[in-house]
Structure formats: C-alpha cells, structure tokens
Amino acid sequence: MAAVKPLGYVATRPNPKTRPGRAGLPRLSPETVRDRLSLVGVVLVSIGVLCWVISRDAAVTAQNYRIQALQAEVAGLEQENSQLESRVNQLSAPSRLVDVAKKMGLMQASPDQWRVLPASPASGGAAAR
C-alpha cells in the first residue's frame, strides 16, 4: 500500500492580492513619500538645533555660576587685603615703633652721637660716580 500525504503539508503559493497585513494599506504616491520624508527631515533638523541651543544655554549658565563664585572670591580677598593693609598701617605707625624700641632698651641718638662717613671709591656705590 502506498503512503498518503496529509493535506496540511502541501505547499501552496500565497495570493499576492490577499497577503495578511497588506489588505488595508493604500499605495503611496512618490510625492506623498517625498513630502513625508521632507517633514521628517525638518523635524530632525529642528530637534538638532533645539538640542544645540539647550546645550549652549547650559554652558552659559555654568559659566555664569563660575563667574559668580569668582566674584565672591575676589570680594573676600579684597576684604582680607584691606584688613591686612590696616594691620600694616597699625604696626608701622611711628608711635608704635618708638614704644617697641623703648621696650627693647633702645634710645634715640643725639646729634653729637652721629657719625657721617664719606663713601669710599672702592665700594662701587653711587657716591663714587
């Protein structure tokens, strides 16, 4: 007896007019395809420009924060500098220097205790010129 093949295994060609998933889609004209591609291109370019603008804005904002931090640092350094200048003026006041010299046991020299020596030519000083 000959073996009979079941009908479920017989290969058949699908009908192109009745393909599944293609029954409800209309055929697009080349103009419609071109218009839709142009629209997609414009949207992509717009998104790119928007991303660039946002990144530039973020960079400017970061620089503004850095500038503010540096300005605050400069203000602090200027204040510290003025305090140090005030302290230098206090410490170098002539009355304070006299008091410190007296505490160290120094005395002011009288004019007869002064000796003025001439500059020697061998010293190379300004007086030799």
| Distance (Å) of CA 24 to CA 15, 32, 33 | 15, 18, 18
Q: Which residue in this structure is represented by tokens 């010299």?
A: 101
Predicted TM-score of the model (pTM): 0.48
Say if residue 128's pLDDT is above 50.
Answer: no
Using one digit for the tens of pLDDT, what is the confidence trace for 34-46?
Answer: 999 999 999 999 9
Q: What is the pLDDT of residue 117?
A: 86
> Whose structure tokens read 């002011």?
108
Asked whether the predicted pLDDT for residue 59 surpasses 60, the reply is: yes
